[in-house]
Amino acid sequence: MADPPGLIGIFVDMDESGVGVGRLLLALDATLASLAAAPRGLDVVIDSVALIDPDDLRLPLHTSARDADLFLMVGVDADDVVGWLHGFGSQMPVAVMLKSPSAEAISRIAELSVAVIDVDPHARWERIYRLVLRVLEASSVQPGAESMQAGSIGDLFELAAEVARRTGGLVSIEDARSHVLAYSSAGDEADELRRLSILGREGPPEMLAWLRQWGVLDALRTTETLVSVEERGELGLRPRLAISIRSPHERGVGDYLGAIWLQQGRDQFADNTSDILAGAAAVAARIISRRRSAGSGHDELVRRLLGARGETVDSEFLGNQLGISPDTHLLVVAFGGLLADPSRASVSAPTPAMISALTLHASAFSPLSVTSTLGPRAYVVLPGADQDATVAWARSAVAAARRQFGVEARAVVAGPAAGLGLAPTLRTQADRVLDAAQRESDLIEPVTTVAASTTGVLLGEIVALIEDNPELIDARVLDLAARDEASGTELTPSLRAYLDHFGDVRAASAALHIHPNTLRYRIRRVQELTGIDLDDPTTRLVVALTLRVPRPAG
């Protein structure tokens, strides 16, 4: 393949693992974050990050998460951060990121020798987290390991910075959904469209409408030609150029992967800007395509670890690929039963946004965690985690799903077990609990462990066996249900409440919100109509099981 025009000889120049506080701020740019305090200077190195929400302040952090150098405090009050940091003793993080911390909070945190980074209140935390990860990933590239001469580059941020240097403009690289993937530093030259795009918000509707009206967005999606956008002073829109990023192809037009936007700064663009952008688009296409392949490959590795390709897994290979010791103790947390409307019986699969949020939440709890989906369920593998802390984390994850996406989910913690080879067994155990919860939701807690769910699981499987074999169903119960439907009586639910409360009339009548004498009358009526002897313990057992079987159609 020919070298990309205009970009020969760009090298990734990273001389150490991790990145200094000052360098991280330069990468994020003043659009997103600014330094509020740096008691240990700007050269202190950050090489790990964790995302913390209010629930995490009340939970014992996993050891690896506690050792993070940078904490992103999502929705956490700055004053609460001070007390939380005091619990670290002498092992303080390098820095914390907060939105609009007060001067007093900044001073108190700085007294603990922790840097404070003030994040723009309009920025999205997920965007900040991903950008920090990309900066850290780029810093781990060995010097000269990848070069544009070889047709590759380690990071889109490096590409954006080099294009900006050569063209004299401000660069933003977006994906096919117009989400910013990387950008160059801007100073105070960025216009409103660029600023809001970097923050993770949509640009002003009138700007986007203007771009659509003049066919700019359509041109990017349908052609490979350079698109010019004129200045619109009334909208605060500076002149800019744009070029589409397309998947590599031998002939024809490749798939649309995104676009590179070049906003004009104080100076005019360089003379060879069109060639530089063409080369940059080719390089960006390779990076994005490689990331897509890596992402799908990672998901496949996690699914294989969970037993999606058979119960036997190659622990050594998968452990090396995922960066997890093959003989580690692990837990598996299964999430299922997602209900957008809790009154519905059907469940839905998690959306990509839900999986993204779950992955971030799990990474904050344990950076070694891996997350993937199988069918309508999501799974998190947690190496070396404590069971009690994991149950508490799972509760916070379920609560976050309710707040963020309006869904009711269930979580089951399986394990611990020794060795990655047992991950499929743990998944199967967790699935068994989730399957039973679809039938016996009243006996299985929304967040539970496999051991704590034994009764509900066994009962659910017994009921399923009866349902699959109609000859095991007590016909007297079916006749009673048919009589209720025909006459409008409520003898069947009264019978179930009576049995569920072990014959305690007062407790059962309270659950039904009726008078105890009304329930006594109904139970006598049931025995008269069906001949069921409720004084016989064997009869009570058979009837109670039948009452849990969904009534067959017809």
pLDDT digits (tens, 9 = 90+) for 245-299: 888 664 556 788 888 988 888 888 888 888 888 888 888 887 787 766 656 677 7
In a domain, 93, yes or no: yes
Q: Inter-axis angle of helices 125-139 and 21-28, to 10 degrees?
A: 120
Residues 64 and 178 in one domain: no
Burial of 524 (0-12, 13-18, 19+ CB in 10 A): exposed
Name the token pair of 139.
């810093």
Are 241 and 281 within 8 A, CB to CB?
Answer: no
Q: CATH number of the domain that 411 lies in?
A: 3.30.70.270
Amino acid, single-letter form, for residue 381: V
Q: What whole-number distance in Å separates Cα of residue 62 and Cα of residue 173?
A: 35
- pLDDT for position 254: 72
In a domain, 10, yes or no: no
What CATH number does the domain containing 158 carry? 3.30.450.40
Listed as ranges, residues in the chain with pLDDT below 50 are: 1-16, 63-64, 141-154, 250, 339-346, 553-554
Q: pTM (2 decimals)?
A: 0.50
Task: Tell me if 89 is assigned to some domain.
Answer: yes
Q: What is the CATH number of the domain that holds 477?
A: 1.10.10.2840
Domain boundary among 140, 163, 182: 140
Beta bridge partners of 182: 173
- Please list the alpha-helical segments (H only) found in 140-272: 156-167, 192-199, 205-213, 216-222
- Beta bridge partners, 370, equal 381
* Residue 240 covered by a domain: yes
Burial class (CB in 10 A: 0-12, 13-18, 19+), 544: middle
Mark whether 344 and 446 lie in a shared domain. yes
DSSP string for 296-317: HHHHHHHHHHTTTT-S---HHH
- 6 in any annotated domain: no
pLDDT of residue 255: 81
CA proximity to 254, closest of 293, 221, 295, 277: 221
Residue 30 lies in a domain: yes
Same domain, 211 and 340: no
Helix or strand or coil: residue 403? helix
Residue 494 and residue 430 share a domain = no
Per-residue confidence (pLDDT) for residue 138, from 0 to 100: 64
CA pair distance 330, 369, nearest whole angstrom: 10
What total of structural domains would you count in the chain? Answer: 4
CATH number, domain of 47, equals 3.40.1390.20
Looking at the fold, whether 161 and 96 belong to one and the same domain comes out as no
Q: Are 445 and 408 in contact (CB under 8 A)?
A: no
184 in the same domain as 103:
no
Same domain, 321 and 402: yes
Residue 540 counted as domain residue? yes
> Residue 302 falls within a domain, yes or no?
no
Name 420's Cβ contacts closer than 8 Å, sequence gap at least 6.
305, 313, 315, 318, 319, 324, 326, 327, 328, 330
Of 385, 420, 451, the last residue of a domain is 451
Do 227 and 127 belong together in one domain?
Answer: no
Instruction: Output the pLDDT for position 110.
Output: 92
Report the interhelical angle of 491-500 vs 516-530 (nearest 10°).
110
- Domain stop point among 227, 259, 293: 293
Same domain, 322 and 446: yes
Q: Structural domain of residue 196, as residue ranges?
A: 153-293
Which residues lie closer than 8 Å to 498 by C-beta, 6 or more apart?
505, 508, 519, 523, 534
Confidence at residue 8, expressed as pLDDT on a 0 to 100 scale = 33
432 and 391 share one domain = yes
pLDDT reported for residue 295: 60
- 191 plus 265 within the same structural domain: yes
Q: At what angle do helices 475-487 and 491-500 cross, to 10 degrees?
A: 130
> For position 9, what pLDDT does the model report?
31
Alpha carbon distances (Å) from 384 to 248, 298, 325, 327, 331: 41, 20, 10, 10, 8
Give me the pLDDT at residue 333, please.
94
Check whether residue 368 and residue 423 sit in a common domain.
yes
The pLDDT of residue 205? 63
Instruction: Supply the pLDDT for residue 505.
Output: 82
